[in-house]
Amino acid sequence: MWIARPIYELLPYAYMIVGGLLLATAWWLETLPGVLLVVGSLSLLAGLVLWLRRKDYRTRQAEYNSHSLDD
């Protein structure tokens, strides 16, 4: 499955924003705070993991020579 680059680049931030909003909603609402806390925490964690994995991948790719062995 291919995702357009602008959407792909915004996904970690969208996950973190949704997670933060769900955590804030759990703080202010009295209905289902446990469910909102769990889903918000997982969404925030998923966004952070995606962001850190991409950052690590990009720094590792920059360390290697991009030329093939046949060149």
User: What is d(CA 6, CA 11) in angstroms, rounded to the nearest whole number?
Assistant: 9
Q: 24-28, 46-50, 56-60: which has the minimum mean pLDDT?
A: 56-60
Amino acid making up residue 48:
L
10 or 65, which is more confident: 10
Q: At 45, is the pLDDT very low, low, confident or very high (cuts 50, 70, 90)?
A: very high
User: What is d(CA 61, CA 56) in angstroms, rounded to the nearest whole number?
Assistant: 9
36 or 63, which is more confident: 36
Domain limits of the chain?
23-55
User: What is d(CA 66, CA 58) in angstroms, rounded to the nearest whole number?
Assistant: 12
Cβ(43)–Cβ(12) below 8 Å: no
At 59 the pLDDT is 87
Instruction: Write the pLDDT tens digit of every residue in 8-24.
Output: 899 999 999 999 999 99
